[in-house]
Chains A and B, each alone.
Chain A
Amino acid sequence: MKKAAHLIVVYFITLCVSTLITAFLYMIFQSCMQMVAADTVQIFSFYYFRAGCMVCFPFAALFALLVQVISAIRNQNSSLLGFLVYLFFTLFTWLLLLPYVIASTPESYLQEESRSPQKLSTKLFRVENTIPIYYLDANADGSYQVLYIKKDIFMAFPIVEDFSYVSYSAPFYDPLLETSVGYPESIKKPVSMVINFYEAALKAVQSGKGAWLRFASVGLSIFALWVFAGASRWKMVNVFFVSGMFIFLFVLHIGLYTSFQIHMIIEKMWQHAPFSFVSSLYVPVIVHSFFSLLFFLLGFIKRFKKIKVGGAE
Chain B
Amino acid sequence: MKTSMRVAFVTATHTSIFFIALFIFGAFSAELPKLFESSVLSYRLLCGLSLALDYMPALLLSGVLLGFSWAFSALDTKNILRFSPPLMQNFKIVLRISLLCAALCFCIAEVFIPLIKEGKNKMTSEIADFDWYYEMAQNSLDRENFTAAYFYNHTALAIADKDEKHKEKALKFAKTLEISDIRFRSLKAESQSNEEIVCDANQPHVIPVGKTATDLLILARSAFQSGNYFEAHYNAVLASSICGEENPNRKEMIQIASESWNKLEDWRDSNDTESALLFERKHAAFTALINNDVLEAYYSFNDLLHDYPTDPDVKKYAVVSEKKLKEQFFFFEETAFLKHFEVARDVYFTIPRADGGTILLYIRGISIMKGTGRLVQYLRGFNYVTYSKDNKMEMSCRVPFAKMTGESLDSFADTVYLNGLSGDRTIPVILLHSVSKINRDIKSTPVYEYGLNIPKMEYQFLVLPISLSDFNDACHASSGVKRMNLFDLCTFSQKAEDFGFSKSVFGTELGARVSYPFLMLLLFIVAAVFGWNFRLSHREMFKFTWIFVFPLAALIMKLAIEFTQYGLSMIYFILFAKLGIFSLLFVLLFYMVAIFFTSFRFLGMHGENFYEDEELEID
Contact = CB atoms under 8 A, between A and B. Distances in A.
On whether the two chains bind one another, the answer is yes
Interface of A: 1-3, 21, 25, 28-29, 32, 37-38, 41, 43, 73-74, 76-79, 123-125, 132, 134, 136-137, 145, 147, 149, 151, 154-155, 157-159, 161, 176-177, 179-181, 183-184, 186-187, 190, 232-241, 243-244, 247, 312-313
9 contacts: A41-B577, A125-B349, A132-B348, A154-B135, A155-B139, A181-B570, A234-B537, A236-B70, A239-B534
Nearest to A121: B502
A32 B576 CA distance: 13
A267 B13 CA distance: 45
A291 to B, nearest CB: 17
A125 B348 contact: yes
B348 A149 contact: yes
Contacts of A149: 348, 362
Nearest to A26: B570
Interface stretch (B95-103, B317-325, B548-556): B548-556
Interface string B9-28: 00000000000000000000
Task: Tell me the interface secondary structure of chain B in the complex.
Answer: helix
A157 B398 contact: yes
Contacts of B569: 180-181
Given A74-B533, A154-B136, A134 B570 contact: no
Contact of A38 (B396, B497, B556): B497
Given A78-B619, A154-B132, A73 B358 contact: no
A159 to B, nearest CB: 5
B573 interface: yes
Contact of B508 (A43, A74, A158, A180): A180
A241 B135 contact: no
Contacts of A247: 556, 559
Interface in B591-619: 613, 615, 618-619
Interface in B403-437: none
Given A136-B391, A157-B398, A187-B563, A241 B534 contact: no
A253 B316 CA distance: 86
Contact of A157 (B364, B396, B500, B508): B396
Task: Tell me the interface secondary structure of chain A in the complex.
Answer: mixed
Contacts of A312: 619
B81 interface: no
A2 B615 contact: yes
Given A41-B578, A236-B65, 10 more contacts: A2-B615, A123-B350, A124-B502, A134-B350, A136-B358, A154-B131, A180-B504, A186-B562, A190-B559, A236-B66
Given A159-B383, A235-B534, A187 B566 contact: yes
A183 B566 contact: yes
Contacts of B69: 234-236
Contacts of A79: 615, 618-619
B239 interface: no
Given A147-B385, A233-B536, A161 B615 contact: no
Contacts of B537: 233-234, 313
Contacts of A237: 546, 549
Nearest to B449: A157
Interface string B254-287: 0000000000000000000000000000000000
Contacts of B113: none
Contact of B556 (A28, A181, A234, A240): A240
A180 B571 CA distance: 11
B501 A125 contact: yes
Interface in B149-173: none
B57 interface: no
Contacts of A76: 619
Contacts of B565: 184
Contacts of B450: none
A161 B556 CA distance: 48
B346 interface: yes
B615 A28 contact: no
Contacts of B562: 184, 186-187
A236 B69 CA distance: 7
Q: Which of B66, B387, B619 gathers the greatest number of chain A CB atoms within 10 Å?
A: B619
Given A38-B502, A132-B348, A147-B360, A124 B497 contact: yes
B505 A37 contact: yes
A235 B532 CA distance: 10
B383 A157 contact: yes
B383 A240 contact: no
